[in-house]
Amino acid sequence: MMIVMKPGATPQQVENVISYVIDLGLTPHLEQGVENVFIGLLGQNYSIPVETLEALEGVQQVTRISQAFKLASRQFQSEDSVFPLAGYNVGGNDIILIAGPCAVESRSQIIETAQAVREAGANALRGGVFKPRTSPYAFQGLGEQGLEFLAEAGQATGMPVVAEIVSETQLEVMLKYVDVLQIGARNMQNFYLLSAVGQVRTPVLLKRGPAATIEEFLMSAEYILTGGNRHVILCERGIRTFETTTRNTTDINAIPALKALSHLPVILDPSHSTGLSEYVPAVARAAIAAGADGLIIEVHPDPPRALSDGRQSLTPEQFAELMHQIRAIAEAMSRKIARVGHNLSDGW
């Protein structure tokens, strides 16, 4: 970190800054320039907010040279994080393909969908049971019964299951049923929830908030990592911009940027990032071509009858067609779709 003092800063102001940073446990490094005094800071400075230093008298500008996050960074760990999930690896050469409905609506709906996406080549099953909805009048999810149905569908098809947790009070019940805990976009900065999932060892799929910068996204991952849970999957799901043709704007730049800044696996959710089922295949292919480690895609047996997100859900047939396209792009990238099947007899 580098502090630039104002041209006319007094010796007393410089001294104040120096004693202030020493109190923070940092080593200041003074340099008298021609117009400005510069103070370099050595030590564990990722914990010091820039704005605090900028509030000191006589300070003109503070520049962070190293990053504000540590455990999530490539500097901390240069090789990719890879961890096992249901007999395959997340984050290595294989591609994870999570599919399923926005919400678990009934036992038959989730089992039917699970079988269809499994047959098409998905290797994990998603389904929401506690739905955070913009309107208090909208369907709010099946709760624990939904978890039971989801877990049953996962077991029947040999796929690990992913569901969203929206409050730390649900952690115990979620852990009984799910293989991956999802933190939704609206909760990306629910720090109590992040800390709670940092205490367990179940993998966490962390979605980027619609207005979160890439740095803030990695800071939220850092909350989980500092708790000791190293199994974090980063998920780009579109950001909010002025464009209204699509529900969100897919930040495809985030794929190479996150891969460069962090060692964590990175996936994309083209269903939310576009909001329109007809654009999902193009953006799903783009993500794999950009180097994403996987996708999470909404599939519903009858999208117009879906209780939520019907407009962005693929039919099982559309999903199967997309899987063919994804395989072709993955091959061009010298990668392949991970396969489950260890507890299935049919050799899929």
> Judged by CB under 8 A, which of 12, 19, 61, 106 binds a second copy?
61
Reading the block at residue 329, the tokens are 């792009």
Comparing CB distances to a second copy, the nearer of 84 and 256 is 256
Reading the block at residue 100, the tokens are 């399923």
Query: How many C-beta atoms lie closer than 10 Å to residue 57's C-beta?
Result: 12
How far, in Å, CA of 60 to CA of 82, rounded? Answer: 43
Reading the block at residue 170, the tokens are 């649900």
Listed residue (346, 330, 52, 86) closest to 203, CA to CA: 86
> Judged by CB under 8 A, which of 10, 15, 22, 33 binds a second copy?
33
Scanning residues 226 to 245, which ones bind a second copy (CB under 8 A)?
226, 239-245
Query: How many C-beta atoms lie closer than 10 Å to residue 190's C-beta?
Result: 19
* Residue 133 makes contact with a second copy by CB under 8 A: yes
Nearby residues of 202 by Cβ (< 8 Å), 6 or more positions away: 175, 178, 179, 180, 181, 229, 231
Comparing CB distances to a second copy, the nearer of 54 and 84 is 54
Comparing CB distances to a second copy, the nearer of 157 and 187 is 187
* Residue 263 makes contact with a second copy by CB under 8 A: no
Task: Return the residue matching tokens 């036992």.
Answer: 107
* Residue 93 makes contact with a second copy by CB under 8 A: no
Instruction: Specify the stretch interacting with a second copy by CB under 8 A; choose among 114-122, 147-155, 172-180, 297-305.
Output: 297-305
Scanning residues 312 to 341, which ones bind a second copy (CB under 8 A)?
312-313, 328-329, 331-333
Pair type for strands 204-207 and 180-183: parallel
> Judged by CB under 8 A, which of 28, 160, 210, 316 binds a second copy?
210
Comparing CB distances to a second copy, the nearer of 86 and 218 is 218
Quick check: 321 and 280 in contact, CB under 8 A? no
Comparing CB distances to a second copy, the nearer of 60 and 108 is 60
x-or-dash string of contact with a second copy, 142-181, rule CB under 8 A? ------------------------xxxx------------
Scanning residues 8 to 27, which ones bind a second copy (CB under 8 A)?
20
Reading the block at residue 154, the tokens are 């996962």
